[in-house]
Structure 1
């Protein structure tokens, strides 16, 4: 799998320093723990993030991702462990002395200041010469396409424009690392999708390292070179988005990232990279590299787009062919999502692309159907 990661994740560029044994991370979390009274927010966590990487911390509320970002920014100190930037420990270094900047979800713009004054604020605090400030502000406003709005107040801007002002202010000091804490949460869906690509373009143009915290899996998968899926202060899996999606290492990761069906099964046999599983609803043959033994209880995880739906009755004893009843149907525009209840009560999802404007002979609710999938369509999860 390591060799395949080169083209996965942020697929617009060929970038995978994590596969180079000689590459050293720019940011290193070394056995970091953070406690608040009796609560453990981050639990003995180690992680490396590389120069020019767009890295996403993904997880539900309360999993520790924002705490991790705040410790990197200097707003919180680790209870134990160390955080290094460029090989140097950040212990005791105040936030304003760290070569990084943080963009918050609320944007925190000064309402009484114009756009250009908001962008210039940090530069003035650093004592930069007026001519240099003016040139830098011009550069940043051009970068985020806000030149015509330079004299407006934040209240005179849309949510997307306010987000760009906050981004320009964060980038004005030219930090080595930009930290983004749920930066797109206040935007509507369409604007959020547009802004994701704009952030990717900016990050590559500026050559900076971006670390984003989000609970939105689509946001993380769109923008990140790699993503870390977190749970209860720990990292469950770190990999490019396509690897996390196609080859999750646990039920939690499979279930958290994207839609998935989990079929409980028992290992019948394993030979030559092929496992035969026996579930209550039928026999499953699947390719796997997970160490398994006969009699072991596992979950077979499969994504909806890899499940084929048919009215045809299955062949007797055929593998990877299950029968069930249509339980729910969801029309999503580009696809229709079917929830199929198998004979043992397990729900399996299947998506059908709506290639035609008008569907003919659409599979209906409560109809008996056959589900089928290829040997390499799903993954076996032992934990």
Structure 2
């Protein structure tokens, strides 16, 4: 699974240069390390990002993702290793000499300037001719749909409009790479979701390489062609979002990306790619491409939507069955979340999609239920 990194779900476009042995990355992090005193922010990290790729760096606060972005932008220098853009080392190249631009979470708009003057600022600094500046600003305002707001000040704009001004200013100089550091963090949930698709469309229209830093899993999974999950200055997994979600490389990745139930188990036997696991919750049969050994301690990871929740006896043909009691219920509109306490004391989560407006026989608290799932529903993780 880690080799081909084909998407397991629907994909936005057919774009997989990382699977082409002849393709060379536009951006290369080559054994990069960054220390701040005794603290190691980035630890011997290597990574390639391709032309026209929308790449996401995902991880918790303090994992090193923003430091990595700042080193690429030129605001920090690596302690060790090298960063190359288009095959050329960026060591010693100041930020203003790099063919890339960075958009910050705060937007950093000039409050005394109009929208069009904010967008034009970098072009004026570069000494571009006035007629070219006007044409470029017009193009950028059209691109982000802000033509009617050109003469407004930032204080007269909504948060989403300010975000678009910052984006237009970042794109006006036509960088090879646009770096985005938590760019949607200041927006409310609905506007953030709308802006994610706008960014995707914009990136494809311009044909640029986007590198985004975020701690929002949904944001990374929605927009990115590939994502790197980081922890303590290292990369745990790099893959398309569907692969990270459906085939996490480790317990940490499974737990960090999306909702998951983790069941401690031991390999009892192996036969034709099927592992029989022994756990306090019961026996589990699971497909596994990994090399495992009988007696080996593992974790069985399964997503809530892969567990079928029902009352009464399980289906006769179901390969895996767990029984438990409804402990908590969370209604989210489109789905209802159920936390199920198993007889072993472990808690697993299942979801039911609310396809009907009224559910007269909704499963309730403290009700005895059955969970069934297929052999390929979960992932057996050795680490």
TM-score after normalising by structure 1: 0.98
2:93 is matched with 93
Distance in 2 (CA, whole Å) between partners of 1:318 and 1:179 is 48
What residue ranges of structure 2 are gaps of 5+ in the alignment?
none
Q: Is the 1:32–1:45 Cα contact (8 Å) retained in structure 2?
A: yes
2:375 is matched with 375
Deviations 1:320-339 (A, max 9, x none): 10111111000010010000
Per-residue deviation, 1:318: 7.3
Matched, 1:115 2:115: yes
**Alignment RMSD, CA only?**
1.5
1:210 is matched with 210
Deviations 1:208-234 (A, max 9, x none): 000000000000000000000000000
2:174 is matched with 174
Distance change >3 Å, CA 292–CA 8, structure 1 → 2: closer
Q: Is the 1:307–1:371 Cα contact (8 Å) retained in structure 2?
A: yes
Distance change >3 Å, CA 73–CA 87, structure 1 → 2: same
Matched, 1:102 2:110: no
**Any idea what SS the aligned residue of 2:194 has?**
helix
Per-residue deviation, 1:313: 2.7
Deviations 1:115-151 (A, max 9, x none): 0000000000000000000000000000000000000
1:257 is matched with 257
Q: Is the 2:318–2:372 Cα contact (8 Å) retained in structure 1?
A: no
Q: Is the 1:105–1:181 Cα contact (8 Å) retained in structure 2?
A: yes
After superposing the two structures, state which structure 1 stretch, 313-322 or 91-100, moved more.
Answer: 313-322
Deviations 1:28-69 (A, max 9, x none): 000000000111000000000000000000000000000000
After superposing the two structures, state which structure 1 stretch, 310-319 or 218-227, moved more.
Answer: 310-319
2:15 is matched with 15
Matched, 1:277 2:277: yes
Q: Map of 1:196-235 to 2, 5 A cutoff?
A: 196-235=196-235
1:34 is matched with 34
Distance in 1 (CA, whole Å) between partners of 2:340 and 2:154 is 49
Distance in 1 (CA, whole Å) between partners of 2:105 and 2:10 is 23
**After the TM superposition, which segments of 4 or more aligned residues of structure 1 sit over 3 Å from their partners?**
1-10, 314-319
Matched, 1:138 2:142: no
Per-residue deviation, 1:344: 1.2
TM-score after normalising by structure 2: 0.98
**Any idea what SS the aligned residue of 1:51 has?**
coil
**Any idea what SS the aligned residue of 2:105 has?**
coil
Q: Is the 2:26–2:86 Cα contact (8 Å) retained in structure 1?
A: yes
Distance change >3 Å, CA 203–CA 241, structure 1 → 2: same
Per-residue deviation, 1:316: 9.8
1:163 is matched with 163
What residue ranges of structure 1 are gaps of 5+ in the alignment?
none
Q: Is the 1:282–1:319 Cα contact (8 Å) retained in structure 2?
A: no
Q: Is the 1:116–1:150 Cα contact (8 Å) retained in structure 2?
A: yes
Matched, 1:349 2:349: yes
Distance in 2 (CA, whole Å) between partners of 1:4 and 1:69 is 26
Distance change >3 Å, CA 371–CA 264, structure 1 → 2: same
